């Protein structure tokens, strides 16, 4: 990973209290889900999700995370209380539900948060699990992400995602002026299409700077809807493929662009643009919303493939 993320030095994962100066974001859109990444890949939690407790410690369902880290999980009872044990070839952790103390490799350690039962799952402080099992943990305050292990972000190509034929997508580029989007930066036609999901982020673009795209999400600022993209440096060339089977050109709003405290950037792309009024010779009857998007076109991410992210916000 090219930019250094914020490292937590406390016994639990706590907010640092450092925040960047950002535009006024509507509160309803500013509630990110805690994400946990193992070796720069997001972990998918099938039911019970990670959360932050009253001490701002990240709590995770014990079995799922521990088994991903190669530990065997055991349960027993002592003094009428449930005891959880984690074991690998090199490390061991013993925890009692309702207690903030754990025995890590034979040494007793006390944490700010207790092991609890929630949604019929045992939740424990993530830092206790990962450090007890010999893993490096970093807290990304900006994205509300937990990084475990390596933070080296892969390229899109290295994810080996399935490719698709390009022909079914040509309908979105029906205007002659948009046909050049079907060629790469060397003006060579793309061979196929890759449709990465939001969960496939973060990944590096195949450009000279190896730009990292961390996250994309809809956000409302002062009552105006945008897509917010977080990168390690420069903005991304982004366009919308809509349900009208057309392409909407967008560029990032420089007046809103924000450099975060960790060196990453937020870039903002409008959902509605005045240029759309000329697209069909009429003004859209209703303003474009995020649910009107079929795909997000990320240009120049790959030299060989057109990169289209399916809209992940359609219920």
Helix (H, G, I), strand (E, B) or coil at 281: coil
Task: Give the pLDDT of residue 6.
Answer: 31
Task: Give the pLDDT of residue 277.
Answer: 67
Q: Name the residue among 218, 227, 233, 175 with its Cα closest to residue 1.
A: 233
Cα–Cα distance, 37 to 122 (Å, whole number)? 20
Task: Give the pLDDT of residue 33.
Answer: 84
Q: Which helix (H) or strand (E) holds 66?
A: helix 62-68
Give the model confidence (pLDDT) of 28-73 as tens digits.
545 678 999 999 999 998 888 899 988 888 898 888 888 888 999 9
Mean pLDDT of successive 10-residue stretches along the chain, which has 315 residues: 34 31 53 88 90 88 88 90 92 93 92 88 86 88 93 94 95 84 90 96 88 96 94 93 91 94 96 72 71 94 94 89
Task: Give the pLDDT of residue 2.
Answer: 40
CB atoms within 10 A of CB 304: 13
Give the model confidence (pLDDT) of 256-296 as tens digits.
999 999 999 999 999 988 777 655 555 566 788 999 999 99
Taking CA 17 as the corner, what is the angle to CA 140 and CA 151, rounded to the nearest 5 degrees?
15
Which one-letter DSSP state was computed for residue 141? T
- Where would I find the H helices in 97-204? 126-132
Give the tokens for residue 240.
């919308």
CB atoms within 10 A of CB 5: 18
CB atoms within 10 A of CB 171: 10
φ/ψ (deg, to 5) at 27: -55, -35
Task: Give the pLDDT of residue 23.
Answer: 57
Could you tell me which residues are beta bridge partners of residue 221?
A: 25, 224
Cα–Cα distance, 238 to 250 (Å, whole number)? 6
* Cβ-Cβ contacts under 8 Å for 278 (sequence gap 6 or more): none
Q: Which helix (H) or strand (E) holds 249?
A: strand 247-250
In the chain, the domains with their CATH numbers are 27-148 (3.30.457.10), 157-310 (no CATH)
* Cβ-Cβ contacts under 8 Å for 266 (sequence gap 6 or more): 22, 228, 229, 230, 256, 257, 258, 260
Taking CA 215 as the corner, what is the angle to CA 214 and CA 218, rounded to the nearest 5 degrees?
160
Q: Name the residue among 41, 69, 300, 266 with its Cα closest to residue 154.
A: 41
Cα–Cα distance, 299 to 107 (Å, whole number)? 52
Q: Name the residue among 130, 216, 145, 185 with its Cα closest to residue 1.
A: 145
φ/ψ (deg, to 5) at 259: -90, 125
Task: Give the pLDDT of residue 175.
Answer: 73
Task: Give the pLDDT of residue 212.
Answer: 96
Cα–Cα distance, 50 to 123 (Å, whole number)? 8
Helix (H, G, I), strand (E, B) or coil at 110: strand
């Amino acid at each position: 990973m090219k930019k250094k993320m914020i490292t937590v030095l406390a016994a639990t994962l706590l907010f640092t209290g450092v925040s960047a100066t950002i535009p006024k974001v509507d509160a309803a859109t500013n509630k990110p889900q805690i994400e946990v990444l193992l070796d720069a890949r997001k972990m998918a939690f099938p039911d019970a999700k990670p959360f932050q407790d009253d001490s701002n410690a990240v709590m995770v369902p014990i079995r799922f995370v521990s088994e991903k880290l190669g530990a065997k999980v055991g349960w027993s009872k002592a003094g009428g209380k449930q005891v959880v044990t984690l074991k690998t070839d090199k490390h061991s952790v013993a925890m009692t539900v309702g207690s903030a103390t754990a025995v890590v490799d034979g040494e007793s350690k006390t944490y700010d948060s207790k092991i609890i039962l929630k949604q019929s799952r045992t939740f424990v402080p993530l830092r206790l699990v990962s450090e007890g099992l010999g893993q490096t943990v970093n807290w990304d305050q900006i994205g509300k992400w937990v990084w475990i292990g390596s933070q080296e972000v892969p390229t899109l190509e290295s994810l080996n995602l399935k490719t698709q034929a390009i022909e079914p997508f040509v309908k979105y580029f029906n205007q002659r002026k948009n046909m050049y989007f079907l060629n790469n930066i060397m003006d060579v036609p793309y061979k196929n299409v890759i449709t990465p999901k939001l969960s496939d982020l973060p990944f590096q673009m195949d450009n000279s700077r190896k730009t990292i795209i961390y996250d994309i999400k809809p956000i409302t600022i002062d009552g105006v809807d945008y897509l917010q993209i977080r990168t390690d440096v420069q903005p991304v060339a982004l366009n919308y493929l809509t349900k009208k089977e057309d392409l909407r050109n967008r560029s990032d709003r420089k007046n809103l662009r924000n450099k975060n405290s960790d060196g990453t950037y937020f870039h903002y792309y409008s959902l509605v643009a005045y240029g759309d009024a000329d697209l069909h010779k009429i003004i859209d009857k209703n303003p474009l919303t995020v649910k009107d998007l079929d795909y997000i076109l990320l240009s120049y991410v790959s030299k060989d493939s057109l990169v289209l992210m399916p809209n992940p916000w359609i219920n």
